[in-house]
Amino acid sequence: MAASAYLQVFRGRRIAVMALLGFSSGLPLALTGATLQAWMTVADVDLRTIGVFGLVGLPYIIKFIWSPFMDRFVPPLLGRRRGWIIITQLCLMAGICMMAFGSPGEKPWFMAALALLVAFTSASQDIVVDAYRTDILHEAERGAGVAVFVTSYRIAMLVSGALALILSDRIGWRNTYLVMAGLMSVGIGAALFGPEPEKTVTPPRTLQEAVWGPLKDFFSRRTAGIILLLIVLYKLADAYAGAMTTPFLIRGLGFSATDVGAVNKAFGLAALILGAFVGGGLMVRLGLYRSLMVFGIAQAASIVSFAVLALAGKNYPLMICAVAIENLTAGMGNTAFLSLLMGLCSQRFSATQYALLSSLASLGRIFIAPTSGYVAASAGWPAFFFISTLSGIPGLLFLWRLRPVIDGLGEKGLQGS
368 and 292, same domain (yes or no): yes
184 and 215, same domain (yes or no): no
Question: Which of 152, 178, 203 is the endpoint of a domain?
Answer: 203
Look at the chain and report how many structural domains it folds into: 2
pLDDT per residue as tens, the chain (417 positions)? 455 555 666 677 788 899 899 999 999 988 888 788 888 887 877 777 777 777 777 888 888 889 998 888 889 888 888 999 999 999 999 999 999 998 887 888 888 889 999 999 999 999 999 999 988 888 778 888 888 898 899 889 888 888 888 888 888 889 999 999 999 999 888 888 888 887 777 888 888 888 898 888 888 888 888 999 999 888 888 888 877 887 888 788 888 777 777 776 677 788 888 898 888 888 888 888 999 999 999 999 999 999 999 998 888 889 889 888 988 998 899 899 988 998 888 888 888 888 888 888 877 666 666 677 788 888 888 998 999 899 889 999 999 999 988 887 754 444 444
300 and 389, same domain (yes or no): yes
138 and 28, same domain (yes or no): yes
14 and 92, same domain (yes or no): yes
CA-nearest of 158, 221, 192 to 23 is 158
Whether 414 maps to a domain, the answer reads: no
83 and 141, same domain (yes or no): yes
Whether 413 maps to a domain, the answer reads: no
**Spacing of C-alpha 233 from chain mean position:** 16
Expressed as residue numbers, the domain containing 60 is: 3-203
250 and 352, same domain (yes or no): yes
413 contacts 346 by C-beta, under 8 angstroms: yes
296 and 353, same domain (yes or no): yes
Question: Which of 182, 203, 224 is the endpoint of a domain?
Answer: 203
- Which pairs from 53-62 meet CB under 8 Å and 24+ separation? 53/112, 53/115, 56/32, 56/112, 56/115, 56/116, 56/119, 57/32, 57/33, 57/119, 58/119, 59/116, 59/119, 59/120, 59/122, 59/123, 59/124, 60/119, 60/122, 60/123, 60/126, 61/359, 61/362
CA-nearest of 396, 120, 126, 365 to 242 is 365
289 to each of 135, 223, 328, how far by Cα in Å?
20, 16, 19
Collapsing DSSP to helix, strand or coil, 104 comes out as coil
Whether 417 maps to a domain, the answer reads: no
